[in-house]
Amino acid sequence: MNNVIHIPVLVKEIMNMMKGDLKVIVDATCGNGGHSYLIAEEFSGSIKKMFCFDKDAESLEIARARLQSFDFIEFVPQSYTHIAPTLKNFGERATFVLFDLGLSMWQIKSSGRGFTFKEDEPLDMRFDTRKGLPLYLLIKRLLPEEIEEILKTYGEVKRAGKIAQAIVRERKRIEINTTLKLVNILRDIGLPDSEIQKVFMAFRIYTNKELHELVEGIRSATDATEKGGRIAFITYHSIEDRIIKRLSHIKGINKVKPYPIFPGEEEIKHNRAARSAKLRVFEKGVNNVKETDFAVIYSMVSSFPAPFTG
């Protein structure tokens, strides 16, 4: 397995948004530490503490090795839903928080967990292999209508009903426990690669409860951020971006312009993974953010397929 390191996106643009007091930084999605490294290097004079979260403990180990020269970093191999309690334990408030959503190139190319339909790997798809169920077990348990709903909502997949039926039919015959077995089912019903990619994305979002955790993570980060502190989001998916956009409806959270920011042509030329990225930055204002105001984002995810709990 080749070891591909993720290239961080929109670095210059994020740095431009990092103004004022930069004492306590949170990288909510540290991955291989690409952004963390550059931020730690640039602002080492003013950073008192930096918290690097990632629910993928293996990714975070790579970051730890790369960032070992910075003694102000705390590595937290947990979901970003833990930002508020973690900072509270350290008696800190965040002055800048970065969320770089989605998955890393390392996870796609080197983790061997079935994130890509282009390799034959175990059908796991979990960021955090210590928790939850791998996709091949979820696929065994889901009802056909649940599979259809997941594919429609998270992937905008065409013919979602037909795909769900094909999966349910095949799972009676074989255990669909590798990416290749899933791909063969999809190819047999005539799905082109572009649609297969969407099926994989939809299942990944479901397996990792990505949007449900995003909403919790936003709340946790907002609770942990000082007034005047900033929270930046890089999104790659239209539903993620719709959730983030709604934050500007919350009193006490102000959008920072320009909004949104896209990568330039030069960056996209060198890193194709950046092509769908969008950066939106918010500042915590002087008004207290009320718990009930988060209803504008909770109401969105409440209509999405519920995470598997059984």
Ligand X SMILES: C[S@@+](CC[C@H](N)C(=O)[O-])C[C@H]1O[C@@H](n2cnc3c(N)ncnc32)[C@H](O)[C@@H]1O
d(CA 8, CA 15): 12
| Cβ proximity to ligand X, 92 vs 100, nearer residue | 100
Does the footprint of ligand X cover residue 51 (CB under 6 A)?
Answer: no
Identify the residue among 13, 17, 79, 297 touching ligand X (CB under 6 A).
79
> Which residue from 263, 227, 258, 249 is spatially nearest to 293, judged by alpha carbons?
249
64, two tokens: 């730890």
* CA-based nearest residue to 59, from 112, 116, 12, 134: 112
| DSSP tag of 68 | T
Residue 32 in the binding site for ligand X (CB under 6 A): yes
Cβ proximity to ligand X: between 54 and 195 the closer is 54
Q: Determine contact, residues 104/116, Cβ cutoff 8 Å.
A: no
Per CB under 6 A, the list member of 23, 24, 35, 111 interacting with ligand X is 35
The residue at minimum Cβ distance from ligand X is 34
* Residues comprising the chain, all counted: 310
Binding of ligand X by 102 (CB under 6 A): yes
Query: Contact with ligand X (CB under 6 A): which of 14, 17, 18, 31?
Result: 31
Among 100, 240, 241, 267, binds ligand X (CB under 6 A): 100
Neighbouring CB atoms inside 10 A of 4's CB total 15
- CB nearer to ligand X: give 25 or 166: 25
Binding track over 165-194 against ligand X, x by CB under 6 A? ------------------------------
3-state helix, strand, coil in the chain (%, to 5): 45, 15, 35
Rounded distance, CA 175 to CA 307, Å?
22
Q: Rounded CA gap, 295 and 302, in Å?
A: 10
Is residue 29 within the footprint of ligand X (CB under 6 A)?
Answer: yes
- Dmax (CA) for the chain in angstroms is 61
Site membership for ligand X, residue 305 (CB under 6 A): no
Whose structure tokens read 């930069």? 22
Q: Is 263 in the site for ligand X (CB under 6 A)?
A: no
Window 196-255: residues binding ligand X (CB under 6 A): 213, 217
User: Based on CB atoms, which residue is closest to ligand X, 176 or 277?
Assistant: 277
Closer residue to ligand X (CB): 8 or 155: 8
Instruction: Determine which residue in the list 54, 124, 149, 195 makes contact with ligand X, applying CB under 6 A.
Output: 54
